Amino acid sequence: MNTQFATAMRRASQQMRAQNLAEATRLIQEALNGRPRVDNVENDATPRREELLSSVAREDVASAAGGADRLARMRAPLGDPLCALRQDQMNPDAFAGLPGMASSGLQTRAPSIPHGARFETRSFSCAAGSRSYKLYVPASAAVRPRGLVIMLHGCTQNSNDFALGTGMNEVAEARGFAVAYPGQTRSDNPSSCWNWFEPKDQRRGAGEPAILAGLTQEIVAEFGIDPAQVFIAGLSAGGAMAAVMAETYPELYAAVGVHSGLPTNAAKDVVSAFATMRGDPKATHPKRGGRRAVRAIVFQGSADKTVHPSNAERIMDAATPDAATVFTRKVAGLSGRRGATITVVSDPAGETVAERWLVDDAGHAWSGGRAGGTYVDPNGPDASAEMMRFFLRETLRS
């Protein structure tokens, strides 16, 4: 197994500690350009270079092998890795340390559905590209669903897996809602991550935002769904992309649910994405513009080692208006279930505009998820049910 990239980064870190900036720069440049000059023997315990890079992608960051333009961006911001190495913030083995799903563990079977409901495989295409998606049409409102939720999966997941693990179809059935599960392609991201950190995928009218917006509009038009009852949510990279969609198409979504995700405009490449995920205090802080932010509910595990909990705070900051009222309360876990600290933000008119659930000791997984799906925590509060409650402006239960 090729260990050259990992070894080169270790040596660069050592040179930074020894104040040999020129040598560290040379090592990083050669490593990023695919030609590190190292002589260590191969070791099966050390990941290959592509594994080091794609392990970031497995959680929330795309591999640099996705195209020449991405490789150029990986090679360009040399100052950022140097700065991180100088401050001992960039462990050469850190990319390999992020938890990821083994491919053999990915759940691909579709969830069971009630009689009269449909779970269809569809596709959408536009000038920006195309994506396949699964659409759940509830038996309780087969002709005209009451509303629509767009659900964006995390890295290494797929539409069936995410539907099974979140149990959102069950929640939607009880409310008469349709649910769409767009699927990321491996050709657009080797680890099936939504490209929330790519500049072209953070803008209105371009890239993945344009595709997801068009997909949403097509479903709304086909079923005559009330535009005021359209919502979007996601996990991890999907949560980050859901936040991007709320930012770029605020007229399409009445509220957004972000589970273990990242704030918008917090990254511009792989390096800054990794820094944001780790909660680097020097990472970009998104700023709320003058317009009203889309209502947001945020779920985050307090023990998440993949996406630092400070990212949930940043998302809340962006959704909090001036002169807001903030209320926090603790919900104890009962019968072996996890408790949570709930923060509720209300605007001056008394409307709840943001809600955060910080789940006690939870990791990087969908809270209250169903067994059988990946990245689920069955012992946490039911994120799917609480998101739907928030979307429909129902009062938080005591």
| Greatest C-alpha distance within the chain | 69
* Co-location of 125 and 262 in the same domain: yes
* Co-location of 46 and 195 in the same domain: no
Residue 226 counted as domain residue: yes
Residue 299 maps to which CATH number? 3.40.50.1820
* Co-location of 286 and 347 in the same domain: yes
With vertex at residue 224, the alpha carbon angle to CA 222 and CA 226, rounded to the nearest 5 degrees, is 135
The total number of structural domains in the chain stands at 2
* Co-location of 181 and 38 in the same domain: no
CA distance 230 to 216: 8
* Co-location of 220 and 339 in the same domain: yes
Residue 233 counted as domain residue: yes
Q: Mean of the pLDDT values across residues 18-28?
A: 65
* Co-location of 154 and 188 in the same domain: yes
Residue 344 counted as domain residue: yes
Q: Mean of the pLDDT values across residues 159-188?
A: 97
Domain end, chosen from 52, 68, 98, is at 98
What does the pLDDT read at residue 39?
42
Domain end, chosen from 98, 126, 143, is at 98
What does the pLDDT read at residue 120?
98
What does the pLDDT read at residue 137?
98
Confidence (pTM)? 0.77
* Co-location of 314 and 239 in the same domain: yes
Q: Mean of the pLDDT values across residues 172-187?
A: 97
* pLDDT tens profile 98-137: 333 333 345 478 899 999 999 999 999 999 999 999 999 9
What does the pLDDT read at residue 134?
99
Residue 111 counted as domain residue: no
Q: Mean of the pLDDT values across residues 53-70?
A: 38
User: In which band, very low, low, confident or very high, does the pLDDT at 12 lie, cut at 50, 70 and 90?
Assistant: low
As a whole number, the mean pLDDT across the chain is 81
- pLDDT higher than threshold 60 for residue 2: no
Which residue intervals of 176-256 are DSSP H helices? 207-223, 237-248
Residue 196 counted as domain residue: yes
CA distance 123 to 214: 11
Interacting residues of 52 by C-beta distance below 8 A, sequence separation 6+: 5, 6, 95, 96
- pLDDT higher than threshold 90 for residue 91: no
What does the pLDDT read at residue 98?
35
Q: Which residues pair with 296 in a beta bridge?
A: 256, 354
Domain end, chosen from 98, 128, 160, is at 98
* Co-location of 267 and 346 in the same domain: yes
* pLDDT tens profile 269-288: 888 998 999 998 666 555 55
What does the pLDDT read at residue 24?
65
CA distance 248 to 277: 21
Select, from the ranges 32-41, 79-88, 91-100, 237-246, the one with the highest average predicted confidence (pLDDT).
Answer: 237-246
Residue 240 counted as domain residue: yes
Domain range holding 191?
Answer: 118-391
CA-based end-to-end distance of the chain = 55
What does the pLDDT read at residue 336?
85
CA distance 199 to 214: 19
Residue 385 counted as domain residue: yes
* pLDDT tens profile 375-394: 999 999 999 999 999 999 99
Interacting residues of 209 by C-beta distance below 8 A, sequence separation 6+: 201, 202, 203, 244, 245, 248, 249
* pLDDT tens profile 188-197: 999 999 999 9
* Co-location of 89 and 171 in the same domain: no
- pLDDT higher than threshold 80 for residue 35: no
- pLDDT higher than threshold 60 for residue 68: no
Residue 317 counted as domain residue: yes
* Co-location of 68 and 177 in the same domain: no
* Co-location of 73 and 179 in the same domain: no
CA distance 305 to 99: 8
> 68-75 vs 21-32: helix axis angle to the nearest 10?
170
Q: How many residues does the chain have?
A: 398
* Co-location of 54 and 188 in the same domain: no
- Lowest average pLDDT, out of 69-83, 135-149, 295-309, goes to 69-83
